[in-house]
């Protein structure tokens, strides 16, 4: 296990694939996480929270592993309600990174479709902050294979 760091991001598990959601405060990370979990469960797929707001990343056997930061495991923010507890998984192998931003490129350059985190190259998607993106996230996550590149 090498290259560990804690970042401002959330992570959800869909089936066996982790989805890391990054973006500035107020960009909709928690909302997207809740929507992805809900949509996955509605369609018969396993969906569960891994982390919200702070996520511990580490390279483990050539894969990017995401974990909640203690004592935040099982906590997620819901605007207007505050921090609530819900079932969560203690780790996920990240298969896709979603970066929420104000003005994503309409046609991203090839180099923007991947990102290296903790020495592991992961597919990346940039989406509009605040947009309803759960279906896009799930669709892209479904097409992500188990191939990873360790640098």
pTM as predicted: 0.88
Highest mean pLDDT among 24-28, 88-92, 134-138: 88-92
Under 8 Å CB-to-CB from 109, ≥6 apart: which residues?
Answer: none
- Each residue of 60-87: pLDDT tens digit? 999 999 999 988 888 898 878 889 999 9
Q: Which of 41, 97, 15, 26 is nearest to 64 (CA)?
A: 97
Q: What is the CATH number of the domain that holds 25?
A: 3.40.50.300
- Each residue of 88-121: pLDDT tens digit? 999 999 999 999 998 877 888 888 899 999 999 9
pLDDT > 60? residue 151: no
Q: How far apart are CA 93 and CA 106, in angstroms?
A: 28
Q: How far apart are CA 88 and CA 86, in angstroms?
A: 6
Angle in degrees, 0-180, between the axes of helices 29-42 and 134-142, rounded to the nearest 10: 60
- The tally of domains found in the chain comes to 1
What residue numbers bound the domain in which 42 lies? Answer: 2-150
For every residue of the chain, DSSP letters joined together read -EEEEEEEEEEEEETTEEEEEE-STTSSHHHHHHHHHHHHHHTT--EEEEESSEEEEEEETTEEEEEEPTT-TTEEEETTTEEEE--B-S-EEEEEEEEEESS--SS--GGGGEEEETTEEEEEEEEETTS--HHHHHHHHHT--S--EE-
């Amino acid at each position: 296990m090498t290259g560990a760091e804690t970042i401002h991001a959330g992570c959800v598990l869909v089936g066996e694939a982790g989805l890391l959601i990054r973006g500035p405060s107020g960009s909709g990370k928690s909302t997207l996480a809740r929507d992805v979990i809900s949509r996955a469960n509605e369609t018969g797929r396993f969906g569960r929270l891994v982390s919200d707001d702070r996520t511990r990343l580490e390279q483990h056997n050539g894969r990017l592993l995401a974990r909640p930061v203690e004592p935040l495991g099982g906590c997620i923010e819901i605007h207007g309600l505050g921090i609530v507890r819900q079932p969560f998984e203690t780790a996920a192998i990240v298969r896709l990174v979603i970066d929420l931003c104000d003005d994503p490129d309409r046609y991203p350059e090839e180099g923007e479709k991947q990102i290296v985190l903790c020495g592991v190259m992961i597919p990346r998607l940039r989406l509009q902050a605040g947009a309803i993106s759960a279906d896009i996230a799930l669709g892209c996550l479904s097409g992500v294979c188990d191939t990873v590149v360790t640098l």
